[in-house]
Amino acid sequence: MPWKTITPMEEFNRFVILAQSDRFTVTELCEQFGISRKTGYKHLERYAAAGRSRSDMGWSAGRRGAG
């Protein structure tokens, strides 16, 4: 059986869910996910502003490779 591919949006949702669980600090989660604290807080702010609406979070297939 092949490995399951995890999309960036799934990782984003997982990060937010874990951050809201209060089991980990944002610093710990950022270390686990390999992102900076600045990026972690940006994701949380984006989630809070848009709720669960993915289209409002700026995630689309067209932006995936943009840096």
> Which pLDDT tens digit goes with each residue over 38-63?
999 999 999 999 875 554 455 554 44
Amino acid in the structure at residue 43: H
Q: What is the pLDDT of residue 50?
A: 83
Query: Could you tell me the two tokens for 55?
Result: 């289209």
d(CA 8, CA 25): 21
Within its chain, how far is the Cα of 60 from the centroid?
A: 14
Residue span of the structural domain in which 40 resides = 8-51
Q: Is residue 62 part of a domain?
A: no
pTM above 0.95, yes or no: no
Asked whether residue 25 is domain-assigned, the answer is yes
Whether residue 1 is contained in a domain is answered as no
In a domain, 33, yes or no: yes
Instruction: Give the residue, 60 or 14, on which the prediction is more confident.
Output: 14
pLDDT of residue 58: 52
Measured distance CA(25)–CA(31) in Å, rounded: 10
The answer to whether residue 12 sits within a structural domain is: yes
Q: Is residue 44 part of a domain?
A: yes
> Could you tell me if 41 and 26 are in contact, meaning their C-beta atoms sit under 8 angstroms apart?
yes
Per this entry, what is the length of the chain?
Answer: 67
59 located within any domain:
no
Total structural domains in the chain?
1
